[in-house]
Amino acid sequence: MNQSDPITIAVIQYPGTNCEYETASAVEAAGMSAEIFRWNRHPEELIRFDGYVLAGGFSYQDRVRAGAIAAKKQIIGTLIREAAIGKPVLGICNGAQILIESGLVPGNHPGHVEMSLASNAAAGWRGYFCDWVYLRCQEKGASGAFNLDFTPGEIIPMPVAHAEGRFVSSDPALLDRITQSDQIAFRYCDAEGRYQPSFPINPNGSFLNAAGIYNPEGNVLAFMPHPERAAWMRQIPLDLDGSLRTATLEHCRMPGPGLRFFTSMKRFISNRRTGR
């Protein structure tokens, strides 16, 4: 593989996935090539890709449990092998639920399911929630493939749309390990960056306001908000509190914070190719 070869990303499409086209669009806007990859193609065809995105939606109509059936498919077995050699994998919303149900994240005991994305249960809110929230990037600096292009502690707006987004585990020691090993990539916060556990700052009751969790190696991210819906500033409501309130028309033509998940992915893959 040469440094000049185009970077190709497979955007996985299950029956019920509904964000694959805007996700592919964001991948391409970041300067990579995207291919929508149906779940029932031969899994070995996945090997030629440089990275993978499990897009949002309702795979298998969320039957049994969100992500439960999709996680059992052969294609995930191949993703697990490719992730093990360091390729980046981003699971967005339902994609995050699939990563959790398959044991890829948090991945402290590879192969074992260590967490659940449970039904939203924030103080003052239960059930489906669709709105804009604020996230704060890791304060110690990027620890993985998808936040390389963010500054430590940066606060960004991002839309959420889910009913099962509460990261939980029955193992309290696991939550400590995740925290200590800096696997929480993004946390829900208010417009000033304060972590408050209550709704709507924390829209689902997730522990430590976790919005996205890495595997220990930092190449797999389960992320509940939708970066592909914030890839351009024009997608971000101007009436949000914070610095975006003063946005101009020119500002709206600029890339949004969501695009930087994909430019980070591109940089991570480029760095892998050059051995950095």
Please pick, among 19, 93, 137, 189, the residue that the annotation labels catalytic. 93
List 61, 179, 248, 271, residue binding other proteins (CB under 8 A): 61
- Which of 65, 81, 177, 273: binder of other proteins (CB under 8 A)? 65
Per-residue binder mask for other proteins (CB under 8 A), 166-185, x = binder? x-xxxx--------------
Please state, as a whole number, how many other Cβ atoms lie within 10 Å of the Cβ of residue 11: 27
DSSP 203: S
Contact letters for other proteins, residues 69-108 (x by CB under 8 A): x-xxxx-xx--x--------------------xxx-----
Q: How many CA atoms lie within 13 A of 39 on its CB side?
A: 20
Q: Identify the residue among 31, 86, 111, 152 touching other proteins (CB under 8 A).
A: 111
Q: Does residue 226 have an active-site annotation? A: yes
Closer CB to other proteins, residue 127 or residue 153? 127
- C-alpha–C-alpha distance, residues 116 and 137, integer Å: 22
Closer CB to other proteins, 161 or 168, in the complex: 168
Q: What count of other Cβ atoms lies within 10 Å of the Cβ of residue 256?
A: 23
> Is residue 270 classed exposed, middle or buried when 0-12, 13-18 and 19+ CB atoms within 10 A define those classes?
middle
Q: What is the DSSP letter of 216?
A: T
Which of 212, 99, 106 has the alpha carbon at shortest distance from 156? 212
**Binding region for other proteins (CB under 8 A):** 60-61, 63-65, 68-69, 71-74, 76-77, 80, 101-103, 111-121, 126-127, 166, 168-171
